[in-house]
A and B are shown apart, each in its own frame.
Chain A
Amino acid sequence: MLTVDAIHTYYGESHVLQGVSLRVDAGEVVALLGRNGAGKTTTLKSIMGIVPARRGTIRFDGADITRLPPHLVARRRIAWIPEERRIVPNLTVYENLRLAMLKAPVDGKEASARLEEALAFFPRLRERLTQNGKSLSGGEQQMLAIARGLVAGPALMLVDEPTEGLMPIIVRNLTEILHAINARGTSMLLVEQNLEVALALARRVYLIDQGRIEFEGTPDDLRGHPDLLRRYLGV
């Protein structure tokens, strides 16, 4: 479904991704793990076309999307759930969701079904539909960020540290919801600092360090290599 092949990405002169390759197959959750500054967010931004890769190729469903601008990547049913959540503060919860549905390649009826589905996952959002984005708590903002990705009906979700800074009970809740979303057929590339969450959700795991993929395997492979966990994740 998604194939990232030896991409090199720069911020100005700074060479951040140095030949990252990875793959997400249909229906999979794939985790991308690494220390702070390893290049996880940059990988997702390169896929989204936000910081385009200078070399290498990114293919999605057979098409080359390496140089597509973000709005065209999104229209191919790839949803980005950013690390900072990026809820539009001056819009209501409902308007944030509506924004995400404007260009979604779905018709009106399917769109309202998706809205219902997203709100069923996050009943707290339904109670706050008319509330401003900036008045939401951190957990609610994360819920809205995921819901906003969902309503577009994505085939693939790029989820960047969904549990960062949240209470354990909300972390558990979000983990279950991400699992349920995947069970309904949405593939995921998941960046996560919480190793337990990542290993519980992912079928395969990549470790990234200094812009290079250093390991690829299953969660069980990784558990069997405490040296790798120590070297690349510091645990």
Chain B
Amino acid sequence: MPFDAATLLSQLFTGLVLGTIYVLLALGLSLIFGLLTVVNFSHGSFYMLGAYLGFFVLGFTKNFWIALVVAPLLLGLLGLLTERWLVRPLYGRSIDDPLLLTFGLSLVLVEAARLVWGKMGLTFDPPAALAGAVNLGFTYFPAYRLFVIAATAVVVVALWLFLERTTLGLVIRAGTRDALIVRALGINLNLVWLLVFGIGCALAGLAGVLAAPMRGVYPEMGVTIVIESFVVVVVGGMGSLLGAIVAGLLIGEVVSLTTFFAPKMADIVVFLVMAVVLLVRPSGFFGEAGLME
């Protein structure tokens, strides 16, 4: 096997890019789970829809940047509708009910995508400005992938500022730990739940558009990655955003390195990581025990 430091570094970079997609998906899942205790299984389908809608907005406008903004907004809107009309009636019931519902929704959406857009994948070209490769010193790395890393960093910082510095962020942080006291202090959490579900879905849509030029657009594109993202959430600790970031990047690296050094292991390595982490720390890196109660 050809091996040198430059190859390793470029593989680490590839892992970082994959990790950012996990991070974006896991952040949405974790936000939604942390506040609403809903395991949103339709997240992968929202990611897929983000890619398709991005593709069509790009087709209409010929402008990648508009697609990058509009598709997540549309997904956010779809998230609002999903919370309001499908998930909300299930609050107060067992945690399995919204899980089954969103699982069903994800099947419907994948099937609908096959019907509407066909089973063939689409090719999504990165914007011309990011088409080339950049010399990193040790290797040439696609400019678009560097952009994905930077864009994720911006989103993570923006989300952090939103949660730490705004009033709504304060309510979300409090509601994640004790929804009842927040309501007893006069705050209507229904609106906050709605909004957080929308934000989570918008993040899935963003991940879909960002991933599309690297991974293609096809109806099943969200099926595997959503499961891997669930693993990220569990490894990071259910409901922990810091955990989603750390575990997302870690699993991105693990998958990338395994694909390179031991390709046969690539499909199961995420689950191995999960098993090991859960054996050592049952609530994940940053999880608070008892969140599932």
Contacts and interface: CB of A to CB of B under 8 A. Distances in A.
A204 interface: no
B170 interface: yes
A74 B177 contact: no
Interface stretch (B5-13, B23-31, B111-119, B182-190): B182-190
Contacts of B183: 69-71, 74
Interface residues of A, number: 24
A78 to B, nearest CB: 9
A90 interface: yes
B170 A74 contact: no
B184 A88 contact: no
A74 B185 contact: yes
A11 B107 CA distance: 37
B88 to A, nearest CB: 14
A148 interface: yes
Nearest to A81: B184
A88 B177 contact: yes
B173 interface: yes
Contact of B185 (A69, A89, A90, A152): A152
Contact of A86 (B178, B187, B188): B178
Nearest to B168: A102
Interface in B167-225: 167, 170-171, 173-174, 176-178, 180-189
Contact of B180 (A70, A90, A148): A70
A71 B174 contact: no
B180 A50 contact: yes
A99 B180 contact: no
Interface in A82-97: 82, 86, 88-91, 95
A122 B151 CA distance: 46
A103 B187 contact: yes
A95 B185 contact: no
A73 B186 CA distance: 7
Given A86-B178, A90-B177, A95 B170 contact: yes
A104 B186 contact: yes
B186 A103 contact: yes
A100 B174 CA distance: 11
Contacts of B187: 71, 99, 102-103
A91 B174 contact: yes
Contacts of A70: 180, 183-184
A50 B185 CA distance: 12
A206 B137 CA distance: 80
B190 to A, nearest CB: 9
Contacts of B181: 82, 86, 88
A148 B181 CA distance: 11
A88 B178 contact: yes
Contacts of A90: 173-174, 176-177
B185 A99 contact: yes
Residue in B177, B186, B188 with the greatest tally of chain A CB atoms within 10 Å: B186
Contacts of A91: 170, 173-174, 177
A71 B170 contact: no
7 contacts: A50-B184, A74-B185, A75-B186, A86-B180, A90-B174, A102-B186, A103-B187
Given A71-B183, A86-B181, 10 more contacts: A71-B184, A74-B184, A74-B186, A88-B174, A88-B181, A88-B182, A90-B176, A91-B177, A100-B186, A148-B185
Interface of B: 167, 170-171, 173-174, 176-178, 180-189
